Amino acid sequence: MKFFAHGKLLLTAEYAVLGGAKALAVPTKLGQALEVTEKGNSILWKSIDQHGNLWYENKFDITSFTPKRLDEIGKRLQHLFLEIKTQNPNCWNTSTGFSFTTTIDFDRTWGLGSSSTLISLLAQWAKVNPYQLQQEVFGGSGYDIACAVAKSALVYERTNPLEPKVTAVDFSPEFKDQLFFVYLNQKQDSQKAVAAFDLNKLTPSTIKEIDVLTKEFLAKTTLENFQELMFIHEEIIGHMIGMTPVQKRLFTDFNGAIKSLGAWGGDFVLACGDASTPEYFANKGYATCLRYDALISACFKI
């Protein structure tokens, strides 16, 4: 049995998505695959990186799911296995073992969803609710779970943590050749960011502002207007979480607009510039500057 899950990028409503704000998100063509076979009398787990190298391996008891090597990843996988058993007791056949092999397309430090894709893959295999699996083991807004199986850009609303509202949308800026995703060389811990965020800071008026901005991001607009939307969004979120927008902190001389994505402070940012944008970031020490089409597949209806 083989399964695939897409990575994710959150374009609007970072943090605010936790309180129900409408968030624009896109699945990436890079993701993670899972192959499952029945064999042996235990659970064998192998994880392969984007270069084809084995980066993690462990063995688990088929009944208790106790890992042979009790490291952090082993404990997290055990937690996932136990929660899957709670949701679907019949998926584990103790008369035989299983071999799980995951293969990831992207650098795990990039923050494109190594955890959310794993949850989606296991949920696909076990036929359980991926949102519930995420809430019980990792927590989070769930937009990344929606992206894992999405075929287009989407607007995500956390109306119900276990049954959110997911609407497929057409996000296709005419100037997408001037959009770049830049990795800031510091992976953020989404779990810690979510746990640290005080939902009391998210007022009804802020949710309304973000909802309007998400709608405007989706509207046909000019490059200049899109950049202005990026600046406005940054100011709103920055004020809410008490952080200075990344462009004001690091890239004051950039000729264009820069917007944080997901947890502020690392991972990827969206840069709206021109043909010289990759060179600009390379000179600043940020070598990973990917064109929009390099991450967002043409097979998506965007």
* Confidence (pLDDT) at 198: 76
Domain membership flag for residue 300: no
* Confidence (pLDDT) at 263: 81
* Confidence (pLDDT) at 302: 40
Same domain, 75 and 131: yes
Same domain, 90 and 205: no
- pLDDT-based confidence at residue 132 (cuts at 50, 70, 90): very high
Strand, coil or helix: what is 302?
A: coil
* Confidence (pLDDT) at 71: 95
Same domain, 153 and 84: yes
Domain membership flag for residue 242: yes
Dist. CA 184–CA 267, nearest whole Å: 6
Give the burial string for 6-34 (b: 16+ CB within 10 Å, else e).
bbbbbbbbbbbbbbbbbbbbbbbbbbbbb
Domain membership flag for residue 301: no
* Confidence (pLDDT) at 228: 97
* Confidence (pLDDT) at 200: 81
Dist. CA 109–CA 113, nearest whole Å: 10
The stretch 56-74 carries a mean pLDDT of 95
Same domain, 217 and 134: no
β-partners of residue 290 are 181
The stretch 181-201 carries a mean pLDDT of 74
Q: Count the helix, strand and coil residues of the chain and give each as a percent rounded to the nearest 5.
A: 40, 25, 35
The stretch 108-123 carries a mean pLDDT of 94
End residue of a domain, out of 167, 188, 215: 167
Of 7, 6, 9, the C-alpha closest to 262 is 9
Same domain, 19 and 155: yes
Decide if 217 contacts 12 (C-beta within 8 A). Answer: yes
Same domain, 28 and 101: yes
Domain membership flag for residue 23: yes
The stretch 180-199 carries a mean pLDDT of 75
pLDDT at 77 over 50: yes
* Confidence (pLDDT) at 201: 82
Decide if 111 contacts 190 (C-beta within 8 A). Answer: yes
Residue range(s) defining the domain that contains residue 21: 2-167
Same domain, 214 and 140: no
Phi, psi for 293 (deg, rounded to 5): -70, -15
Same domain, 147 and 270: no
The percentage of the chain sitting over the pLDDT mark of 70, rounded to a whole number, equals 94
Same domain, 34 and 141: yes
Same domain, 99 and 222: no
CATH number of the domain that residue 57 is part of:
3.30.230.10
Residue type at position 88: N
pLDDT at 20 over 90: yes
The percentage of the chain sitting over the pLDDT mark of 90, rounded to a whole number, equals 81
Provide the domain count of the chain. 2
DSSP string, 167-236: EEE----TTGGGEEEEE-S----HHHHHHH--GGG--HHHHHHHHHHHHHHHS---HHHHHHHHHHHHHH
Same domain, 155 and 195: no
Domain membership flag for residue 191: yes
End residue of a domain, out of 112, 134, 167: 167
End residue of a domain, out of 167, 195, 211: 167
Same domain, 18 and 112: yes
**Rounded (5°) CA angle 170-295-248:** 90
Structure tokens at 168: 């497929």
The stretch 41-50 carries a mean pLDDT of 96
Domain membership flag for residue 302: no
Domain membership flag for residue 253: yes
Domain membership flag for residue 288: yes
CATH number of the domain that residue 190 is part of:
3.30.70.890
